Structure 1
Amino acid sequence: MATSTTETRSRRADRAARSAPPGGEPGSGRPARAPRTPRAGRRRDRPGGALHPGSLVAESGPFLRAALAPAVQRATAAGRRVLGPVASVVSPLGRLLIAAVVLLWILGTVLGWSEALVAALMGTLLVLLAIGFILGRSSYGVDLDLTRTRVAVGDRAVGSVSVSNTSDKALLPASLELPVGAATAIFHLPRLTPGQVHEDLFSIPTQRRAVIVVGPVRSVRADPLSILRREVLWTEPTDLFVHPRTTPLIGSAAGFIKDLEGLPTKELSSADVSFHALRDYVPGDDRRHIHWKTTARTNKLMVRQFEETRRSHLAVALSTNTNEYASETEFELAVSVAGSIGLQAIREQRNLSVLTQDGPLRTETGRNLLDDMTRIEGRAVRATALDLARTTADAVPNASVVFFVVGPEVTPSQLRSAAASIPPGIRCLAIRCVTDGQQSRATIGDLTVLTLNSLDDLALVLRKAAA
């Protein structure tokens, strides 16, 4: 019986083997699977072809960073927009208080220090109370008006701040701040009903030459301890130019150029205003310059010949090297002298060039000149008055008159060298600005040296120099 059973099983196995397709699994009736080949570019870090997770992260890292970079930037920008205004309202005292509160909370919690917990609670209450003082919105219409944006030293600069309530409800009293240079003016606003206007006047001292930034007007909300401080800007800043003080020079009697039409040179020309001689006519000459009386007498065409004239071009070289001045008052006097001479040249529509060690100034209009002179700052530099004279000679080779405006520390030998650096035929004058000393006039070679101790005497001194 056992033998027959074994034979039956062997016959079934033979039939299954004969019925299976080539390469199939015995008894399954399914074809055998082809061996799996790895894909190109896939790394196999372990035996058996398994992929290592670290390799996938390393390979996909650049793609992940590129995909996440915009999201990270947006999150960072959003954080700055949220935290920036919040951090700006916290004063230095508030930052110190918040840091102390956090430290006290940590010490009280970790060490079980009850006094620290009480102090931390009190500090937290102060911060919460301060937040209540800066909450809320104000709706103001603010107008900052300066009567003049350009004044001279010593003149009165007046302005006004007009505030109106543009909301439909009353506004509580508040404070406005107006920065004026390094100082700050405070205006107290009363309770304003809808549409009500409140105006305050103010004046700005102008004892010194400067460019004063006025504004912007800002409203301030703060707690009594100034832990938190919230500012809202309502206007744009305005520049107030305090020009150097100048004095008028009456006409050509001020004396820095005798010939209003220019100074003649040794170069000959066929057309100009300074007559020189007669010569024979040459084909191509302008027939308007034929001298008919001489032509009739000599029976030859004779034409006029002229000397070229140098048009009146005034050059002012202002030394800004503070080593050449004994005091700030002398330097300010030199700036005023240069500004007065330059303004007179512009009024008489002369060509003008004003130079300092820092470069040329704008001379298109008197306003541009004074604006640039307001920004002049004296500095101790290596460039001396002699270096400035050489720069002036290169920059303005066709000048008719050159003024050197210097301090008393410039020696006569330096002035002589400065005049020697100017091309021949150009008249040179030097003005030494002093506070302690007598006004005088001296001559060093072809250079006229004038000593001045008061701006009011500038016209008189120049008139004497022209005599």
Structure 2
Amino acid sequence: MLTRSGAWTAAAAVGLVALGTWTDYPELVTLGLAAAGALLVAAAWLVATPRLTVVREVRPRRVFEGGAAQGTLTVTNVGRRGSPPLLVSETIGGHRTTVAVPALTAGHSCTVSYPLPVARRGRYVIPPVALGHSDPLRLLHRGRACGGELVVHVYPRVHLLATITAGGPQDTDGQTTGNAPLGGAAFHSLREYTPGDDWRRIHWGATARTGTVMTRHVVVPDEPRQLVVLDTSSASYHGSLFEDAVRVAASFCVAAERSGLPLQLRTTGAAERESSGTALEFLSTVEPDSADRGLAALSGLVRDVVSDTQGVALVIVTGRLDADATQLLMLLRHRFLSVSLAQLVSPDSALPPRPRGVLAVAAPSSERFAAGWNRLVLR
């Protein structure tokens, strides 16, 4: 394809030939033919495309906001003749990065590294790398796509948050149920020995009393679960505070994982994820929604998570909280081991009265929230 210089050269060739013919001025015709000849030479230069292989790597493929990702290209000349200098282009998040690769003799390779623009959270799809070269006069350019697509996840920035231990101990003597998974160390009951049971778990006292070989039935104890609900209604936030709310939700997810608590993340838009890894991946793409009902949908969101045998610690991350939402939290409080409220609000916002029995912290940024939360929990 024509470069900008090539387009001007082509226009000059046509114009000079036409003007020289019309005015019977052979010098102008000669200049026009010279320009056309330069284009033909450039086209001939590009006919013999060098045989190159390109290996691309992006590391890391998952990075937190403020982190750095780097692309690495290894270009190898597998042909019999040398290749000219090349320009390699990467496009990520609408930003184009162009990397220069020097001329390569036959059989040689070159590795170049370059930073990738991944400052904002998101899921970035990197298209195949564009490998191109041009003639010495930069009149024509020829390129081709190499490799496949790559995906880079930029997770929200995470702050260190203290966890609340109101959910109860997570030890081997925790509460158990008969349908709990086997293989733990918590004693649940005695039962008859079956072939394959560990003989070290035989209860000799019960065996002597009943005349039947009895063994200890041990299971994994029930543990309190952490349920994080992120309000994704755009009406709940001012300006960029939704980004801070996403960071706070991510911080709670990581804190639960670090403490060994089973985790579930839900949004008021009905999206759901379990475990810290998938939660962070989801939070890298979540966006506010003007059609989202916000905390008005909370009752339906939590209806299925409370059981008689397993407690749930609820964390709600939102922006502005109206009187109806405050009343709803007070009605739901008795159904959970604990209820925590994280509010991301502008400094001049008027806050409604704190719901009774709810641990609430309001702040204008995720950093200020983390500091206030830790100060409240650890005091």
- Normalized against structure 1, the TM-score is what? 0.57
Instruction: Flag the structure with higher helix content.
Output: 1
Q: Whole-Å Cα distance in 1 between the matches of residues 268 and 4 of structure 2?
A: 42
Aligned residue identity for 2:300: T
Contact 1:386/1:415 (8 A) holds in 2 = no
Q: Name 2:306's counterpart in structure 1.
A: 397
Contact 2:247/2:366 (8 A) holds in 1 = no
SS at match of 2:53: strand
RMSD: 4.4
Contact 2:85/2:133 (8 A) holds in 1 = no
SS at match of 1:369: helix
Name the CA shift for 1:169/1:313 in 2 (closer, same or farther; >3 Å).
same
Give the C-alpha shift of residue 402 in structure 1: 1.1
Contact 1:165/1:195 (8 A) holds in 2 = yes
Name the CA shift for 1:139/1:224 in 2 (closer, same or farther; >3 Å).
closer
| Post-superposition CA distance 1:133-156 (Å, at most 9, x none) | 642322112122223111111112
Contact 1:441/1:451 (8 A) holds in 2 = no
Name the CA shift for 1:339/1:158 in 2 (closer, same or farther; >3 Å).
same
| Post-superposition CA distance 1:59-117 (Å, at most 9, x none) | xxxxxxxxxxxxxxxxxxxxxxxxxxxxxx6899999xx9xxxxxxxxx9xxxx979xx
- Normalized against structure 2, the TM-score is what? 0.69
Percentage of pairs with the same residue? 19
Q: Is the counterpart of residue 257 in structure 1 residue 166 in structure 2? A: yes
| Post-superposition CA distance 1:27-82 (Å, at most 9, x none) | xxxxxxxxxxxxxxxxxxxxxxxxxxxxxxxxxxxxxxxxxxxxxxxxxxxxxxxx
Aligned residue identity for 2:306: P
Q: Name 2:373's counterpart in structure 1.
A: 461
Q: Name 2:289's counterpart in structure 1.
A: 379
Aligned residue identity for 1:260: P
Contact 2:85/2:104 (8 A) holds in 1 = yes
Aligned residue identity for 2:295: A
Contact 1:255/1:465 (8 A) holds in 2 = yes
Q: Name 1:355's counterpart in structure 2.
A: 266
Q: Is the counterpart of residue 368 in structure 1 residue 275 in structure 2? A: no
Give the C-alpha shift of residue 233 in structure 1: 1.7
Give the C-alpha shift of residue 351 in structure 1: 2.1
Structure 1 residue runs without a partner (length 5+):
1-88, 99-107, 263-267, 273-284, 293-308
SS at match of 2:147: coil
SS at match of 2:354: strand
SS at match of 2:327: helix
Structure 2 residue runs without a partner (length 5+):
11-17, 24-28, 180-188, 193-204, 206-220
Name the CA shift for 1:441/1:381 in 2 (closer, same or farther; >3 Å).
closer
Q: Whole-Å Cα distance in 2 between the matches of residues 348 and 402 of structure 1?
A: 15
Contact 2:77/2:108 (8 A) holds in 1 = yes
Q: Name 1:320's counterpart in structure 2.
A: 232
Q: Name 1:156's counterpart in structure 2.
A: 68
Q: Whole-Å Cα distance in 2 between the matches of residues 375 and 186 of structure 1?
A: 27
Name the CA shift for 1:196/1:223 in 2 (closer, same or farther; >3 Å).
closer
Q: Whole-Å Cα distance in 2 between the matches of residues 380 and 155 of structure 1?
A: 30
Contact 2:92/2:117 (8 A) holds in 1 = no
Contact 2:167/2:338 (8 A) holds in 1 = no
Name the CA shift for 1:135/1:436 in 2 (closer, same or farther; >3 Å).
farther
Instruction: Flag the structure with higher strand content.
Output: 2
Give the C-alpha shift of residue 464 in structure 1: 2.5
The count of corresponding residues between Structure 1 and Structure 2 is: 323
Give the C-alpha shift of residue 199 in structure 1: 2.2
Contact 2:65/2:121 (8 A) holds in 1 = yes
Give the C-alpha shift of residue 167 in structure 1: 1.2
Q: Is the counterpart of residue 218 in structure 1 residue 130 in structure 2? A: yes
Name the CA shift for 1:168/1:92 in 2 (closer, same or farther; >3 Å).
closer
Alignment of 1:59-458 (within 5 A): 131-132=43-44, 134-221=46-133, 230-250=142-162, 254-255=163-164, 257-261=166-170, 311-328=223-240, 330-364=241-275, 366-387=276-297, 389-398=298-307, 400-407=312-319, 409-421=320-332, 424-436=335-347, 443-452=354-363, 453-455=365-367, 458=370
